[in-house]
Amino acid sequence: MTTTLIETPRTSVAVAASMRGGTKTYGHGDAEVRALDGIDVDVATGEFTAIMGPSGSGKSTLLHTLAGLDRLTAGQSWIGDQELSRLSEDKITQVRRDKIGFVFQAFNLIPSLSARENITLPLDISGRRVEQAWFDEVIGILGLGDRLTHLPAELSGGQQQRVAVARALVARPELIFADEPSGNLDSRSGGELLAFMRRAVTDFGQTIAMVTHDPTAASFADRVLFLADGRIVDEMRDPTAELVLDRMKQMGH
Ligand SMILES: Nc1ncnc2c1ncn2[C@@H]1O[C@H](COP(=O)(O)OP(=O)(O)OP(=O)(O)O)[C@@H](O)[C@H]1O
């Protein structure tokens, strides 16, 4: 087991996921790219965290390594108390399945399954029961009640995106990772989706970490992290779209 220098102590605040000295490189020698260059971050439980930064700054890499979809080259990351570099691939898969919901731009819906079957799939796979009252509440708020028997191909892009969000929420994961969740939606549907994610955090105590390019989307978060060249260069609490936009302009976005 290698030892790693931990510069910032992990705090006593409840933390859903964290990283210390997170480094990710791709390629070797002259072709080496440092996608993450020593990241220290805590994703606090019950908070909505947005991750912003110029193209290529490492946002998706940070999300993927925090979520255990990809491994760090150096440093450590935790989901809850479990340090991912110590876990086998099988164990990481299990942690992801039990604790994490994903909302990515490619919705990853199974084409042959109905909307309802797609939404309950993570629970079905892990052998957990669907809580009917919670299912009904999520479906009601997302306006999917009359679409549950449809196949993904029979749904609009916005409806497919809402199915992907419902799938993440119905399992009540400890943590949801979202990559540009409103990216493919018109501004009204995108706004509704973000308002729902906000409500899931405020009213239901959900924890969400979301990558976005959009200052308005980021303004729904409690906290915005700004990345540049694989480092966290700034953060903002209680953001407004205007303040986020100003900060991005300073970063030469
Ligand atoms: N699989 C890979 N192989 C090689 N380089 C990669 C790979 N994935 C990412 N990179 C590089 O790592 C850096 C960070 O990429 P990443 O996708 O995390 O940035 P991003 O901030 O999410 O960008 P964008 O906003 O354009 O999606 C970039 O320079 C990218 O080219």
Please give the helix or strand (H or E) that residue 223 lies within, else none.
strand 223-228
How many angstroms separate the CA atoms of 161 and 108, rounded? 10
Which atom belonging to ligand 1 lies closest to the Cα atom of 27? 4
Query: Is residue 15 within 8 Å of residue 42, measured between CB atoms?
Result: yes
Whether residue 70 has pLDDT greater than 60: yes
The whole-number average pLDDT for the span 170-197 is 85
Residue range 240-253, pLDDT digits in tens? 999 999 999 888 75
Q: Is the CB of 59 under 6 A from ligand 1?
A: yes
Q: Mean pLDDT over residues 129-156, rounded?
A: 91
- For residue 2, the model assigns a pLDDT of 46
Instruction: Name the fold adopted by 48-59+88-223+232-250.
Output: Rossmann fold (3.40.50)
| CB of 57 shorter than 6 A to ligand 1 | yes
- Mutation probe of ligand 1 site: the residue of 19, 24, 52, 57 with most atoms within 8 A of C-beta: 57
For residue 240, the Cα-to-chain-centroid distance in whole angstroms is: 20
ipTM: 0.96
152 lines ligand 1 (CB under 6 A): no
Q: At what angle do helices 132-142 and 187-204 cross, to 10 degrees?
A: 150
Question: How confident is the model at residue 163, as a pLDDT?
Answer: 92
State yes or no: pLDDT of 7 exceeds 60: no
Structure tokens at 233: 């260069």
Q: Whose CA is nearest to atom 11 of ligand 1?
A: 35
Scanning the chain, the segments in alpha helix (DSSP H) are 59-66, 89-99, 115-125, 132-142, 157-170, 187-204, 215-218, 241-250
Q: Are the C-beta atoms of 149 and 115 separated by less than 8 Å?
A: yes
- Counting residues of the chain whose pLDDT is more than 70, the rounded percentage is 94
Express each pLDDT in 175-185 by its tens digit. 999 998 877 77
pLDDT at 6 exceeding the cut of 80: no
**Region class of 160: left (phi > 0), else alpha (psi between -120 and 50), else beta:** alpha
**Mean pLDDT value across residues 180-200:** 82
Pocket test for ligand 1, best of 19, 28, 30, 33 (most atoms within 8 A of CB): 33
176: its two tokens:
């949801």
Phi/psi at 177 (5° precision):
-105, 130
